Structure 1
Amino acid sequence: MLSQTPKSVSQMIAMLKEKGYKQTDKRRDLLEVFADEKRYLSAKEVQESLKDKYPGLSFDTIYRNLSVFAEHGLLEETEWEGEKKFRFACSTDHHHHHIICLKCGATKSVDACPMDSVTTNMDGFDITGHKFEIYGYCQMCKKG
């Protein structure tokens, strides 16, 4: 995991290359989809957006690359409705969570963290992380 997320697709490609991954046009284009969208996307949505440029690009190849990007901190992943979705990792270094629109996948940062109020005795349990997301509908999706 990166300590600071790269800010551009070029920086992300360079980081992947440093980690031993080949620099390919497909990988760059996969990342560009997220740079243009600014929301959570499924692998199917990514495949749909790249189908004209790469008609034979398989779902498995896309999913495998998205998982590698998430593993290295380039993308964040979440799951809802039984499907993994991905978005660019936030460029902010401070701890926060997200509100996610269930219709369009738009996100908004929330600085509050429910872990701040956890006062229960953990009985020696070492917490290594947590995940908290709020789901609903954005202003645009509520209207439509």
Structure 2
Amino acid sequence: MKNQPSIEQALQTLKENGLKYTKKREAMIAYLAKANRYVPAKELHEYMSEEYPGLSYDTIYRNLHDFSEIGILEETELNGEMKFRFHCCSHGVEHHHHHFICTICGKTKELSICPMDFFQDQLPGCTIESHRFEIFGRCEDCQPV
């Protein structure tokens, strides 16, 4: 599997952060790594329920939140719903970047330009501690016909 090394890294990160390895957690991570886009918890729950009937939505959501807290996943709010994506740095990309996110399918594209230099110049004497920058729109596959 193409993403296997990064999945293994994510599983190691679970262990390093005191989260127990389970087949369910591995399946969740593998699904998100393969999707390579922002995925709603509901979609992941539907997928996981096929293999693990009776698995609760709350369990899925709690794990997604935990994975996000330890840096395995990125999260964003899109159309009033939290969505989750396998962290880009888990794929070996260690550079600072932002994303274009399709509002229809959740596909993402990396943006290598960061607007923070402009904002830093506009805030003399201030210290920026963090930032988040995302562009939302329709990808080439989701354009209206």
TM-score with structure 2 length normalisation? Answer: 0.88
Letter in 2 for 1:111: S
Could you tell me which residue of structure 2 aligns to residue 17 of structure 1?
15
Distance 1:7 1:128 in 2: 31
Q: Secondary structure at the match of 1:52?
A: helix
Distance 1:39 1:45 in 2: 12
Distance 1:39 1:137 in 2: 13
Structure 1 residue 14: deviation in Å?
A: 1.9
Unaligned runs of 5+ residues in structure 1 are: 1-5
Distance 2:30 2:144 in 1: 29
In the alignment, is residue 42 of structure 1 matched against residue 40 of structure 2?
Answer: yes
Structure 1 residue 134: deviation in Å?
A: 0.3
Distance 1:115 1:61, change over 3 A: same
Alignment of 1:118-129 (within 5 A): 118=119, 119-122=121-124, 124-129=125-130
Distance 1:121 1:33 in 2: 41
Structure 1 residue 18: deviation in Å?
A: 2.2
In the alignment, is residue 74 of structure 1 matched against residue 72 of structure 2?
Answer: yes
Q: Secondary structure at the match of 2:99?
A: strand
Unaligned runs of 5+ residues in structure 2 are: none
Q: Which of the two has greater helix per residue?
A: 2
Could you tell me which residue of structure 2 aligns to residue 3 of structure 1?
none
In the alignment, is residue 52 of structure 1 matched against residue 60 of structure 2?
Answer: no
In the alignment, is residue 131 of structure 1 matched against residue 132 of structure 2?
Answer: yes
In the alignment, is residue 33 of structure 1 matched against residue 31 of structure 2?
Answer: yes
Question: After the TM superposition, which segments of 4 or more aligned residues of structure 1 sit over 6 Å from their partners?
Answer: none
Distance 1:107 1:134, change over 3 A: same
Structure 1 residue 126: deviation in Å?
A: 2.6
Letter in 1 for 2:82: K
Distance 1:111 1:121 in 2: 22
Distance 1:128 1:121 in 2: 12
Structure 1 residue 11: deviation in Å?
A: 2.0
Letter in 2 for 1:130: H
- Kindly report the root-mean-square deviation, in angstroms, between the aligned alpha carbons of the 2 structures: 1.6
- Asked if structure 1 preserves the Cα contact closer than 8 Å seen for 2:101 and 2:134, the reply is yes
User: Alignment identity in percent?
Assistant: 49
TM-score with structure 1 length normalisation? Answer: 0.89
Letter in 2 for 1:21: L
Distance 2:66 2:126 in 1: 30
